């Protein structure tokens, strides 16, 4: 294919899209306007006139068009830096914005539970089988299970380390769906969610899972005639000492494997290989490499 012809078609395609979007923007109303004042004092004067103060009368300036323009519903704030604004998200109204935040966080919670479940189950299953092998009603079933050590000691830690590496990418992608208006707010939201979800997925959920699964099965299968049976579950005993081996293995694995993965920068390498493989010409490949 001729390069000049290809890029001319590409240029005309994007030019038409820009013209269509410019026409479409005039028909949309986002209910937002940016005003530039000549001095800082003028900006502070307008802000103080329209600032809402509790338990005080409305002190906004009145004009002949105040009722028509409904200035009593106006909200005046200092605008952020133009570079800090995500302009394509400006048309998103506040109700839609909060609805998106709720839905995105619910999806992230389900992802977090789904990603942490395999490591919890694999870490607990061998302990459960060995503990309940002596019960007559379960002996015939548990004797048939012979789980390799690698599945109960190594794989849970590797899975949790893998999912911990995937979680930042999931948080970054889903945070874009919130349609934040400011870049600083988007980055702050991503950092808070990433910290909370990693803390829950790596520390709290495995501790709860390793304790609650074992306690629940003990409560189900323990005989009522057992004199040591107290009839209730001590759910407050969450961070038990026997969970320490799991976290020690996780720290060691993260130290060696996690550091190596960070040095290799595998996500960037995969993205670079994909970009090189999908270029249309040698010129684009040269630009990408430099």
Per-residue pLDDT tens for 242-278?
566 667 777 787 777 777 777 877 777 888 888 888 8
Give the position of tokens 């068009």: 65
pTM for the predicted model, two decimal places: 0.64
> Per-residue pLDDT averaged across 104-133, rounded?
70
CA distance 265 to 259: 10
Q: Which pLDDT band holds residue 225 (cuts at 50, 70, 90)? A: very low
Question: Between residues 125 and 234, which one has the greater pLDDT?
Answer: 125
Q: Which residues, listed in sequence order, are joined to residue 182 by a DSSP beta bridge?
A: 85
Q: Give the residue among 127, 159, 161, 164 at the shortest CA–CA distance from 142.
A: 127
Beta carbons within 8 Å of 195's beta carbon, 6+ residues apart = none
Report in angstroms the alpha-carbon separations of 237 from 122, 209, 228, 243: 21, 12, 17, 12
Q: Alpha helices, DSSP H only, in the chain?
A: 3-27, 40-50, 66-69, 94-131, 136-142, 149, 155-175, 183-199, 205-221, 244-253, 259-264, 266-277, 282-289
Domain ranges of the chain: 3-80, 88-289
CA distance 268 to 41: 48
> What pLDDT is recorded for position 224?
47
Per-residue pLDDT tens for 51-104?
776 555 666 777 777 777 777 777 888 888 888 888 888 878 788 888 988 998
């Amino acid at each position: 294919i001729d390069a000049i012809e290809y890029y001319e078609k590409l240029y005309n395609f994007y030019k038409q899209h820009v013209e269509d979007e410019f026409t479409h923007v005039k028909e949309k109303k986002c209910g937002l306007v940016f005003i530039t004042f000549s001095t800082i004092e003028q900006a502070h004067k307008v802000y103080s006139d329209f600032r809402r103060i509790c338990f005080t009368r409305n002190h906004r300036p009145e004009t002949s068009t105040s009722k028509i323009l409904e200035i009593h519903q106006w909200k005046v704030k200092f605008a952020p830096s133009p570079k800090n604004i995500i302009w394509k998200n400006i048309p998103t109204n506040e109700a839609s914005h909060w609805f998106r935040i709720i839905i995105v966080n619910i999806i992230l919670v389900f992802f977090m539970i789904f990603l942490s479940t395999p490591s919890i189950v694999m870490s607990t299953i061998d302990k459960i089988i060995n503990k309940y092998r002596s019960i007559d009603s379960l002996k015939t079933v548990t004797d048939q299970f012979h789980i390799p050590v690698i599945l109960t000691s190594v794989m849970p830690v590797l899975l949790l380390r893998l999912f911990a590496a995937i979680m930042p990418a999931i948080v970054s992608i889903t945070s874009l769906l919130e349609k934040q208006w400011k870049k600083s707010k988007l980055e702050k939201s991503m950092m808070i969610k990433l910290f909370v979800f990693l803390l829950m997925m790596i520390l709290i959920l495995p501790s709860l899972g390793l304790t609650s699964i074992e306690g629940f099965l003990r409560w189900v299968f323990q005989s009522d005639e057992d004199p040591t049976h107290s009839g209730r579950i001590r759910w407050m005993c969450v961070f038990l000492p026997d969970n320490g081996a799991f976290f020690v293995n996780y720290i060691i694995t993260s130290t060696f494997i996690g550091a190596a993965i960070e040095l290799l920068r595998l996500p960037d390498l995969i993205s670079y290989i994909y970009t090189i493989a999908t270029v249309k010409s040698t010129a684009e490949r040269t630009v990408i490499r430099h």
